[in-house]
Amino acid sequence: MSRHVALALALLSVGCATRTITLETGPRSFTPDDYEDVYDSWTRDDQDFEWALLDDVLHVTATFESWEFRWAYVVRYGHDHAIEADTREAMLRATLADAQENHRFFVTVAGSDFREQNLASRHSAWRVLLVDPEGRQTEPAEIERIRRPSAADEIYFPSNSPQRQAFRIVFPATRADGTPSIPPGADQVILRFTGARGRVDLRWDFGDLDDSQPLE
């Protein structure tokens, strides 16, 4: 299959997505079986490269751990680990409170040069930024390399593999100047990987909660 045909099929699959994602908060009605659909809705990967030729340089998959994603994650995690309702509710309250303070991404990367792909290292070839619809950029508050992904990391974030490095990347919800890193009502946000070798943009487009497609 040619590169152009593969890219066209990838774009077609994106266009056929049935769920609208939203940053609006509020209760969600998820079951443990809904997790895979929510994960897919909040995950972007190399088919979203801005420069298609970069696929020989950097492969990247990122999951935006949004309010909605965190809700679905706790429901699935609590079910799988037989966590009692009170403890599960405490977990949910804690992670939703954090969602209002931090924008978290679970990222896995692969490429031809292991050292360059270590996003947490000063030797990394890539600078990571969160870009709002007006083009304003926010730098990470933290990039943590996950040296040994846990069983939960491997199951709930299936982009993990021995060929990839995994990271948790945290951006503040509010910049030092008091402005939000993702403004209220934003219709998109971009996770940007940029450097001397090129640029990769992963984009999440948002709708309204009333427009969201219910999970079956």
Residue 40: inside a domain, yes or no? no
- Position 1 scores a pLDDT of 40
Residue 84: inside a domain, yes or no? no
3-class state of residue 83 by DSSP: coil
- Position 58 scores a pLDDT of 83
Residues of the chain with pLDDT under 70: 1-18, 47-56, 209-216
Residue 197: φ, ψ to 5°: -85, -10
- Position 208 scores a pLDDT of 79
Report the predicted TM-score, pTM, of the whole model to 2 decimal places.
Answer: 0.85
Residue 27: inside a domain, yes or no? no
- Position 57 scores a pLDDT of 77
- Position 56 scores a pLDDT of 63
Residue 188: inside a domain, yes or no? yes
Residue 153: inside a domain, yes or no? yes
- Position 150 scores a pLDDT of 95
Residue 80: inside a domain, yes or no? no
Residue 53: inside a domain, yes or no? yes
Contact assessment for residue 164 and residue 110, using Cβ atoms and an 8 Å cutoff = yes
Q: Domain residues for 165?
A: 3-22+46-66+101-211
Residue 18's CATH number? 2.60.40
- Position 54 scores a pLDDT of 55
Residue 196 half-sphere exposure toward CB, CA atoms < 13 A: 5
- Position 27 scores a pLDDT of 95
Residue 127: inside a domain, yes or no? yes
Domain count for the chain:
1
